[in-house]
Structure 1
Amino acid sequence: MPRVPAHLRERALVMLQGGMRTENVARAINSNVRTVRNLRQRYRETGRTADRPRSGRPRVTTPAQDWYIRTSHLRYRMARTTARGTPGKHNPSISAQTVCNWLRKAGLRACRPVVRQVLTRHHWPQHRPWAQTHRRWTRQDWQKVIFTDESRLCLTRGDGRIRVYRRRHERYTEACTLELDRFGWGRSVMVWGGVSQHHWTELDVISGNLNAVHYREDILLPHVVPFLQAHPDMTLQHDNATSQTARSVCDYLQDRNVSVLPWPAKSPDLNPNEHVWDLLEWRVRARAIPARNVRELAGAWVEEWGNISQQELTNLVQSMRRRCTAVLNAAGGHTRNTLFHFC
C-alpha cells in the first residue's frame, strides 16, 4: 500500500468516523479507495493509523562503519579508496556505491575536483615571502609589468567523470583538488601571449614543444624584446619553466637589458594570464560553429585574443594585490584564484 502522509491519515480517519463513505474520503485525500479501506482496517486492529514497520533492504554497514566512512573519506575523498579501506568482519566487500549513498546522507556532495598544480614542501615557503613583498606594490607598480604565459589548447575536453565528495566550503582544500599531472592532452596546440594593463602582445601559435631555443628565437626575439624596447619602463614576467630559466635565455635577456620580475615556481593563481585563457576558452566553446581541427581552433583563439577589452585587462592586473593577500591567507598554498587552464 502506498504511504499516506500523517496529516492525510488523520484527516481521513476523522471523515470516516463522521460517517463519510469510503469513496468520498479517498477522493478528498486524493488517494485510492483500497488505501482508505486498509487505513480503516488498521485502525480497528491496532488503534493507530501509522504504517506498520517495514523491513526494507538490510543494512550493509554497521553504525561504527558509517562513522569510519565519514571520517576516512574526509582524508581520501575517493569513494573507491574509502570502500577498500573500510574494515568489516561480517561484510568485508563494501562497494563504492554503498559509500556514495551514505556520504550523500551525511551531507557530502559529489563535485568535480579543481585541477591544480602540484605543490611540494619546497614551493609553499617560496610563495609566502614573495606575496608578502609584492602585496605592498601599488597599482602603478603593477601597470609596469607585462605578464606572459603559454597554454595548451585542446580540441576536445575530458568527460570530467572524476568526482570527489565534499562539503560546501571545501572546494579548494588540498584533499578535494586533482593534480594536473593526471590529465592527458589529446589533440591540442600550444599558444603564448602577454598582457599588461594597457597593452597586449600578439598571440603566438607554437609548433611542437616549447624549448629554450624556440622560446628565444620565436617568442623573445620577435615579440618580447621589441615590445619592451617600445616600452622601456616595463618589466617582463614569465614563470619558472625550464625553457624560460635556461642559461641561454637568461644571458639573452641580460644582454638586452631586459628587466625580469622574480616569480615563484608553481604559482598559476598569481598569474592573471590564467584567467585570460579561461575567458577565451569560454568564448571559443560558445561559438555557433565549433572548431573541427587544431588549425581552426588556433584561428578561433587568435581571433578572440584580439577581442579582449581594455576593461578586462585592467580588472585582471588590478587584482594582483588581492591575489597576494589570498596567498598569504592560504599560508602559501592554493587559493580561490587557482584556475589552471586544461583540456
Structure 2
Amino acid sequence: MSMLCMRRLRQCYRETGQTVDRPRIFRPRVTTPAQDRYIRTSHLWDGSRMATTTARVTPGTHNPSISAQTVRNRLRESGLRACRPVVRQVLTRHHRQQHRLWAQTHRCWTRQDWQKVFFTDESRYCLTSGDGRIRIYRRRNELFTEVCTLERDRFGGGGSVMVWGGVSQHHRTELVIIAGNLNAVHYREDILPHVVPFLQAHPDMTLQHDNATSHTARSVRDFLQDRNVIVLPWPAKSPELNPIEHVWNLLVRRVRARAIPPRNARELAGALVEEWGNISQQELANLVQSMRRRCTAVLNVAGGHTRY
C-alpha cells in the first residue's frame, strides 16, 4: 500500500471514525424509469428514428426537454447501438409467398442435385457509392431483422461497369463486360454463347437465371428450348438465394482492397476481370454447397430477408 493511500485512510478515520468512503452526491438522473422505457420502445418500433426526434418529445425531470446525447446514452444502456442498415430489395406479400414455396420445394435437394445447377447473374459496379448517413438502432444480434433492413434498388451513380458471369460446383464462365444496358437481343447473342455450349455438352446441368425481362423474353426462351437447355424456375426478387451474389460482394471487397484503386470505368473493368480469375474454385464450391442452408433460412423467416 502506498504512503498516499495510508495518509488518506488515516485522514478519513480521523474525520468519520471509519475507513470506508463517505457517501457521494451524484448528479440527478434527468429521466425517469418510465421515460427510459419509452425511449427504448420508440426505437425498437422504429429503428431509423433519430435521437433528436425522441429528445424533442421527451420532457426531462428538471428541464423542459432532454438532450439527444441523453437519448443515445439510454439506448446504449438498453443494448441498442446505431449501425448502418442492411440494404435489401422491396418484397411484397406475393414475393414472400413465392420465396417460401420455392424453398419448400428445393430444401430437400442434395449436394449432388445442386452440383448440377449453373448459377448466372449480372451485376453493376460503380466507381463511387454514397453513404446516405442512415443509421439504425438495433441490438447486436438483430442485423437481418426486418425493422433493421433498408429496402432499396441497388443501382448507384457515377461511372459504372456492368458484368455477367456464371458459376457451378466445378466450373465457371469468363467474366463478360456488358456494354450499355442488357436487353434480350444482347443476352441471346452475346451472353448465352458463353454458357450454352457447356450446358449442351453436359445435358444433366440446369441453367439458373433470374426473371429479368432480358432473360424471360420469348426469343430467349425459344433460343434455350431449341438447344434443349433446362432452366431452373426462379422466384422474383430473390438474390439471397443465388450464391453468385456473394461472388459479386467478394469482387467488390477485392477491388477496393487494391493498393491503386481504379480511376475510371476501363480500369474498373480490368480489375474486375482480374479479381474474378483470382477467386479459387473451392470458394465457389463452398457457396454452391450453401443452398440447403439458404432454403432453410428463407423458411425460417417466412420468405423474407435472410442473412445471406
1:324 maps to which of 285, 291, 295: 295
Give the corresponding residue for 2:98.
126
- State, as a whole percentage, how many aligned pairs show the same letter: 73
Give the drift of 1:96. 4.3
| Residue deviations 1:243-278 (CA, integer Å, cap 9, x gap) | 222233223322333211000111111101011112
Could you say if the C-alpha distance between residues 281 and 232 of structure 1 is closer, same or farther in structure 2, counting changes exceeding 3 Å? same
- Structure 1: give runs of 5+ residues left out of the alignment: 1-10, 12-23, 338-343
Give the corresponding residue for 2:198.
227
1:1-343 correspondence runs (5 A): 25-26=3-4, 28=5, 36=8, 40=11, 44=15, 49-55=21-27, 59=30, 61-80=31-50, 83-84=53-54, 87-88=57-58, 96-159=68-131, 161-181=133-153, 184-220=156-192, 222-337=193-308
| Residue deviations 1:276-314 (CA, integer Å, cap 9, x gap) | 112222222222222121211110110111222221222
Give the corresponding residue for 1:3.
none
Superposition TM-score, scaled by structure 2 size: 0.87
| Residue deviations 1:81-104 (CA, integer Å, cap 9, x gap) | 782597446777665443222101
Paired with 1:267 and 1:167, the residues of 2 have a C-alpha distance of 26
On the 8 A contact 2:120/2:164 being kept in 1, the answer is: yes
Paired with 2:243 and 2:213, the residues of 1 have a C-alpha distance of 21
Could you say if the C-alpha distance between residues 204 and 211 of structure 1 is closer, same or farther in structure 2, counting changes exceeding 3 Å? same
On the 8 A contact 1:69/1:82 being kept in 2, the answer is: no
Matched residue type, 2:279: I
Matched residue type, 2:41: T
Paired with 1:92 and 1:226, the residues of 2 have a C-alpha distance of 74
Could you say if the C-alpha distance between residues 311 and 97 of structure 1 is closer, same or farther in structure 2, counting changes exceeding 3 Å? same
Paired with 1:126 and 1:194, the residues of 2 have a C-alpha distance of 24
| Residue deviations 1:208-244 (CA, integer Å, cap 9, x gap) | 2222232223212x32323322333221101112222
On the 8 A contact 2:83/2:135 being kept in 1, the answer is: yes
Matched residue type, 2:170: H
Could you say if the C-alpha distance between residues 78 and 43 of structure 1 is closer, same or farther in structure 2, counting changes exceeding 3 Å? farther
RMSD: 2.9
- What is the number of residues matched between the two proteins? 305
Corresponding residue SS for 1:125: helix
Give the drift of 1:184. 3.1
Farther off after superposition, 294-303 or 254-263? 254-263
Could you say if the C-alpha distance between residues 140 and 120 of structure 1 is closer, same or farther in structure 2, counting changes exceeding 3 Å? same
Give the drift of 1:331. 1.7
Corresponding residue SS for 1:244: helix
Give the corresponding residue for 1:4.
none
- Structure 2: give runs of 5+ residues left out of the alignment: none
Paired with 2:143 and 2:154, the residues of 1 have a C-alpha distance of 18
Could you say if the C-alpha distance between residues 46 and 184 of structure 1 is closer, same or farther in structure 2, counting changes exceeding 3 Å? farther
On the 8 A contact 1:43/1:49 being kept in 2, the answer is: no
On the 8 A contact 2:85/2:150 being kept in 1, the answer is: yes
Matched residue type, 1:219: I
Superposition TM-score, scaled by structure 1 size: 0.78
| Residue deviations 1:160-218 (CA, integer Å, cap 9, x gap) | 74321211221110011111338733322111100011111111111222222322232
Paired with 2:42 and 2:287, the residues of 1 have a C-alpha distance of 39
